[in-house]
Structure 1
Amino acid sequence: MNWARFGKTCLGQALYRHRSTFRNASKAAVWSHLELSYFRDIIPDDVIHELVARPQPPETQVLRAEILLTTPSAFVLPSDWQGSANRPEWQASLEYIEVESLCLSKYRQVMREYIGPAAAQLVQANRIGTFRAMETAVVLYRDPALAIDWNQIHLCELEAGSFNGFAQAFDAVLREISPDSDLAAVFADLDRMRTIPRWTFNDPVVEGDAAVGRKGTATP
């Protein structure tokens, strides 16, 4: 919780503990936690050393460490975000996505023009807590035995018990936002560009990330 020690560019941290698997296309063992540290513009060298390079406690095994960049217009937090403690039925949905390298630009465009605006509507309607699309910029460390890969992570908070995928909710909102678009083609394009090797539901252990929404990534 003492993330202020990382300096003025640090906006907070969050920690999620694995609960269940929603979809799985990989034989790799499921990891127990995902930790996110949020920075504005610059990550100091000494912070990278502390989080990645220095020896970890004996009970901790780091499988992967990476720098993620937010996807333009598809990283949505309400300005009053205080975590999901007031919605105990919510769990954190974590999609680990592998987009074909030749399709990254087109994928980003679809996220910016369609998925991000639709997610913003769902956030404003309080149907999901946030929607955070993040892209791998560089992998700093990867355990040689980790037999799974991705270059996007999508995080949102939702009611996992009744969740059956985003298609229906996004389809309804997208028809309002862009009634003239061929939405079936949009989703078909996504399916051609990406695979989802793993999609999990998680319990939030720490959500010290309220400042992220106040630094220009918030919805109106």
Structure 2
Amino acid sequence: MPLVSTSSPSGAQATPRIIEVAPERLSAWLAGFAERHGGEPPRGVPHSVTAPDGVVARFDYFDHDPFGVILVRRGGYAVGRVRNGRLLLHKVGTRYVQGKTAAGGWSQQRYARRRENQADELVTAVADHAARILVDLAHVAEETGEMPVGGIPVTPGLVVGGDRQLVGNVLSDKRLTSLRDLPRRSLYDIGDPNRAVLETAVKRATAVRISLGETP
């Protein structure tokens, strides 16, 4: 995977480049990083690596299990419960929410009210499914008492994506209070939720996020 420069022509520091690597490919990626930028591949589970040429890689892990998924856009939604990388329960659906209009006057106001009502119905539907599929998610780790090899207790997490405001509205439902404080990974760049998008979100949720930049 070629490295894209993270500094602008003027010398100002640019936004780091973010890539996602599947956990099983991380060792190979680290070996390639060392080959491209010098030094030796780090051992163990790295959180930050600085190469001799000044390139810095920072690692963000989402190693929570089980985890819930809530994806929602105005075209549809997907809610899932994942254990050991597999979807145990899920619900995918569509809800029509009208787009914005340039019309004015009373017509625009009626249109806006209709659009708002449709969005409220979408949020309620997603919250209903989340309450059914994910309601006890925050308590699973306490019940199982699982402990991975690294000695850190396994804890549940939450993956959200789609429209940021709609996701926030869903999580404001009082039935989902226990989900709000779970460790979270955001995927707001996904498309309209469907089964394929949900499965992609599950894979991306467990990927290692690597931020590539340069030393100041």
Task: Give the structure, 1 or 2, with the largest relative contact order (CA under 8 Å, sep 6 or more).
Answer: 1
TM-score for both structures, normalised by structure 2: 0.27
TM-score for both structures, normalised by structure 1: 0.27
Richer in strand (by share): 1
